[in-house]
Structure 1
Amino acid sequence: MSEQVQLANQSTHSALNMVLDTAYQGIDAVNWKKLFASARQGHLEQFIADMFAGKHINNSEDRPALHSALRNLSKTPVMIDGKDVMPAVSEVWHRIDALCNKWIGVTDVIHIGIGGSDFGPRLAIEALAHVPGIESRGMRMHFLANIDTAELARILARAQAHSTRVIVVSKSFTTLETSMNAKAVVAWLKDSGCSASQVTDSLYAVTANLTAAKDFGVNENNIFPFWDWVGGRYSVWSAVGMPIALQYDFETFKQFLAGAEAMDLHFKNAPLEENLPVIMALALLHQQEKHDIKAYAAIPYADALDWFPKWLQQLDMESNGKSVDRDGKPVKHSSPVVFGSAGSNAQHSYFQLFHQGTEIIPIDFIAVLEPMSDRPEAVAHHRILLSNCLAQAQALANGKTAANPNDIYPGKRPSNLLLLPKLNAFYLGALLALYENRTATLGALWNINSFDQPGVEYGKVLAKPIEKALASHQKDITASADIDAVTAARINLLNSNN
């Protein structure tokens, strides 16, 4: 039996009718055994148990990381410091369901949030829009994240003020981009002739800071909570994901949660050797150890998932882009750079680098068994799409020899194939939870806290004195404790042109 046949026979794993094929990772049985042994020696099984048990695995902030409770549809008690959180979670579900039935005649929803308050619901709305036969409730869902007013202007040009609802999403309710965009939308509502009471009735908030939301003018009955044990990039399962229910109905949102819950149960209970998130994490770790990789790509061969790599960038790089471990010691490895876009478009963009570049970049090929439309061409087109997916993986793995150096493909470029039976709310939820759990596994293997993000704060602090200097319109700003000489010169350049 050839080595490739052996790898093919040993490399197929499944859960929830999803298939993970690692044959092209180039990891033989001996090395897989070593990887699983290393994971056990690193107490990975205990880490998984502690995460689901509500232990304070976010050690820097002394909090649990219990986003899994948000999709715990079985309502099995989830204890945090001796208190079951499921009644509060269930209450949010009931309120979202009631809101879906209440919003009649709404033409536009403006969802204002950035980062984790934006990527998850935006991805879900975009992905599910491609599901054949899915029913939209007719309203236009707009996502406003960037402080650049181009996005704001485009949305307000389309929305109908008197039938618009606004959801402001911010865990702290102090995020600068979100608060400024929210103020601009409120001003637009007023300028469009909405009365004070109409504006109040139009405003909703999803936040952990009830007081700040009320101070902004949101009626307490319109505030949906989420909690400090939910990280922003893990929050789509909370009321942050409310647009999914509002756009497609509450049952669709429940199916989204159900897929994630099913993947959580697999991650929690499956042996490491059969555990999809663990297998994917160990494969990436192996490529770091063997090839010192600096990047990996996620290429979904489904246009519906074009936003998935953007969501994944935040999940991985904000969670695990660290240079020190939980003990403050330098790390050997942390998150590679993550990028990607929908295949087969990606083939005509950067696959040249994959095949013949000097860097080895592992790839997750993600494919869907069923076509994503009911067009008469769908079956033939989908067959070509899948053919391209399989062919690219084969070419990357095997390479090609040639007399002309330009025609040589080195091969031995590792990849996974992740096959979804279909793309619907259930499998979208399962896909996202698979990668969330893989990210947590990698953090555990690297001894990194995947649930804080201190690195994003320093730039925000520095932006305040810089904004003040720009607002002054002075052209003679000099270096200071907050502004270095290069930035001072750039401020002067900008102020000279304003």
Structure 2
Amino acid sequence: MSLKPDSDNLKSTESPPGVMPNGAHFAVDVVLDTAYQGIDGKSWAALFDIARKTKLPEFIADLFAGKHINQSEDRPALHSALRNLSKSPVILDGQDVMPAVIDVWHRIDALCNKWIGVTDVIHIGIGGSDFGPRLAIEALAHVPDIESRGMRMHFLANIDTAELARILDRALPHSTRVIVVSKSFTTLETTMNAKAVVAWLKASGCTNSQINKTLFAVTANVAAAKEFGVEEDHIFPFWDWVGGRYSVWSAVGLPIALQYGFKTFEEFLAGAHAMDLHFKNAPLEGNLPVIMALALLYQQEKHGIKAYAAIPYADALDWFPKWLQQLDMESNGKSIGKDGKPVKHSSPVVFGSAGSNAQHSYFQLFHQGPEIIPIDFIAVRKPMSDLPEAVAHHRILLSNCLAQAQALAHGKTDSNPNNVYPGKRPSSLLLLPELNAFYLGALLALYENRAATLGALWNINSFDQPGVEYGKVLAKPIEKALASGSDHIDADDSIDAITAARINFLNA
């Protein structure tokens, strides 16, 4: 295990071979082409001026320096330390966090070498404890010739027992391992699903000793994990300076290493680290996360856009828009700024799915709807399989990606109004050299850093999520009312008349 920066892994920030149109920028061999954003040189200059007036360079420096930029929770946002393969010190309140991070890397590597004969892994977590590792497992499964250890990786997030039943029907209890992932170890869906899986293990004849060897946890609440029955040396730490949606780089990403080997996990971290170095050090005018953020801000200012789409022309990235939805809308879906005042802009609605499937679904709206919806087209230069048809199929995939962007930009006139395409629909193209662990890490870090940049531009704290808590509070008395079985529930301070009527209908 090297755990040190590799000059081949960090990649170049120089332009790769070939000529791209004006509007193309390069970092870590990733191409960002904004030529179809419709932003002229004067407008770009004004956007970079806005970035400087909002003290974006200072914000970026504070982010990596461990300053408490998450003001509402009085903590930093140091997820970049989790992929800091240079091992350079990252100081938080006078202490270097890197020794603890490196210790987790060693423990993950060691665990990969211990799991022999395991057929199934059940990863239990929800939200940020689920989206990142699930996306990575799905995406990397398509990499030709990737090392795979043959285990079946199951992700259990939903409290709906349909997901639980499907997993338990497939898993072999005596050769299964269970990873419970919860920062607080109090997340209701996660703890209930974990108890259900433990009950299944017991019902399948596993002894308490066997179950103890089966259970693992990733959490910041070690005491709660031990109380649940997880042995201390099976608990991987998770720190309060890591937000859930930024946590795949921690032991939350354990399934990546277990499924594809620690070297693959290290390459995943290396791609993200390389993008972090670019974000931290590149001037604003050549900084990919900054350019992407400013392009979105421009479309908000000019067109008042309320949504944007991310369309990966790679089936392996079909989970990417779901991951991105949480990243953007949980980070920046807020109406109050860091100064306590209403903000002008916030996160647009994010949606998307794999192209070219998406073309046959909602692209009609993109082309001829009254709304202007910017699009991030994401493409990969190399095919994602080694089938004989791969090159021809991939050529068609890329031609569709390029054609859609061109059609949206230029539109089409026609004497029949039904055949008119207005055009001037903005989009960017992100082009990865290939899809592997390194470039997947770079892609995710690119969007994470863009989300932070947007928060800075909008004066929003991108690292708290108070809005998700209120519904959880209200669910408790409602669940109690449903459990009572009574169809005579009255409205009170926590249950309004409409909800009471719905409860009574369900209990009748």
TM range (shorter): over 0.9
1:32 maps onto 2:44 in alignment: yes
| 1:100-111 correspondence runs (5 A) | 100-111=112-123
Residue type of the partner of 2:423? G
Match of 1:55 among 67, 72, 75: 67
CA RMSD after TM alignment: 0.5
Q: Which residue of 2 aligns with 1:359?
A: 371
Residue type of the partner of 2:159? I
1:462 maps onto 2:474 in alignment: yes
Q: Which residue of 2 aligns with 1:164?
A: 176
Match of 2:247 among 212, 232, 235: 235
Match of 2:229 among 197, 217, 221: 217
Deviation string, structure 1 residues 409-444 (Cα, Å, up to 9, x no partner): 000000000000000000000000000000000000
SS of match in other structure, 2:72: coil
Q: Which residue of 2 aligns with 1:386?
A: 398
Q: Which residue of 2 aligns with 1:283?
A: 295
Deviation string, structure 1 residues 253-285 (Cα, Å, up to 9, x no partner): 000000000000000000000000000000000
Match of 2:457 among 423, 445, 448: 445
1:376 maps onto 2:388 in alignment: yes
Deviation string, structure 1 residues 383-431 (Cα, Å, up to 9, x no partner): 0000000000000000000000000000000000000000000000000
Q: Which residue of 2 aligns with 1:415?
A: 427
Match of 2:195 among 147, 172, 183: 183
SS of match in other structure, 1:416: strand
Residue type of the partner of 1:395? A
Aligned-partner Cα distance in 2 for 1:120–1:142: 14
Residue type of the partner of 1:170? S
Match of 2:129 among 112, 117, 133: 117
Instruction: Name the TM-score, length of structure 2 as normaliser.
Output: 0.96
Match of 1:69 among 63, 71, 81: 81
The alpha carbon displacement at 1:9 in A equals: 4.1
1:130 maps onto 2:142 in alignment: yes
Q: Which residue of 2 aligns with 1:11?
A: 23
The alpha carbon displacement at 1:475 in A equals: 0.5
Aligned-partner Cα distance in 1 for 2:356–2:21: 27
SS of match in other structure, 2:73: coil
Match of 1:78 among 76, 90, 99: 90
Q: Which residue of 1 aligns with 2:165?
A: 153
Structure 1: where are the runs of 5+ without partners?
1-7
Deviation string, structure 1 residues 26-45 (Cα, Å, up to 9, x no partner): 00000000000110011000
Residue type of the partner of 1:257? L
Aligned-partner Cα distance in 1 for 2:454–2:105: 31
Structure 2: where are the runs of 5+ without partners?
1-19
Residue type of the partner of 1:432? L
1:309 maps onto 2:312 in alignment: no
Aligned-partner Cα distance in 1 for 2:24–2:159: 45
Match of 2:282 among 253, 270, 273: 270
Q: Which residue of 2 aligns with 1:5?
A: none
Q: Which residue of 2 aligns with 1:4?
A: none
Match of 2:309 among 287, 297, 300: 297
The alpha carbon displacement at 1:10 in A equals: 2.9
Q: Tell me which stretches of 4 or more aligned residues in structure 1 moved more than 4 Å.
A: none
Aligned-partner Cα distance in 1 for 2:210–2:83: 33
Residue type of the partner of 1:348? H
Deviation string, structure 1 residues 181-222 (Cα, Å, up to 9, x no partner): 000000000000000000011000000000000000000000
The alpha carbon displacement at 1:464 in A equals: 0.1
Aligned-partner Cα distance in 1 for 2:497–2:191: 31
Aligned-partner Cα distance in 2 for 1:145–1:23: 40
SS of match in other structure, 2:379: strand
SS of match in other structure, 1:165: strand
Residue type of the partner of 2:129? S
Residue type of the partner of 1:139? M
Residue type of the partner of 1:313? Q
Deviation string, structure 1 residues 319-344 (Cα, Å, up to 9, x no partner): 00000000110010000000000000
Aligned-partner Cα distance in 2 for 1:247–1:53: 33
SS of match in other structure, 1:280: helix
Aligned-partner Cα distance in 2 for 1:333–1:438: 15
Instruction: Name the TM-score, length of structure 1 as normaliser.
Output: 0.98
Aligned-partner Cα distance in 2 for 1:384–1:243: 33
Percent identity over the alignment? Answer: 83
Aligned-partner Cα distance in 2 for 1:194–1:38: 61
Deviation string, structure 1 residues 92-116 (Cα, Å, up to 9, x no partner): 0000000000000000000000000
SS of match in other structure, 2:180: strand
Deviation string, structure 1 residues 329-381 (Cα, Å, up to 9, x no partner): 00100000000000000000000000000100000000000000000000000
Deviation string, structure 1 residues 207-252 (Cα, Å, up to 9, x no partner): 0000000000000000000100000000000000000000000000
1:205 maps onto 2:200 in alignment: no
Residue type of the partner of 1:331? V
How many residue pairs end up in the alignment? 489
Aligned-partner Cα distance in 1 for 2:342–2:199: 48
Q: Which residue of 1 aligns with 2:99?
A: 87
Residue type of the partner of 1:49? A
Aligned-partner Cα distance in 2 for 1:457–1:171: 15
Q: Is the alpha carbon distance of 1:261 and 1:354 closer, same or farther for their aligned partners in structure 2, counting shifts above 3 Å?
A: same
Aligned-partner Cα distance in 1 for 2:213–2:391: 47
Residue type of the partner of 2:286? E
The alpha carbon displacement at 1:135 in A equals: 1.8
Residue type of the partner of 2:297? L
Aligned-partner Cα distance in 2 for 1:165–1:258: 27
Q: Which residue of 1 aligns with 2:413?
A: 401
Residue type of the partner of 1:471? A
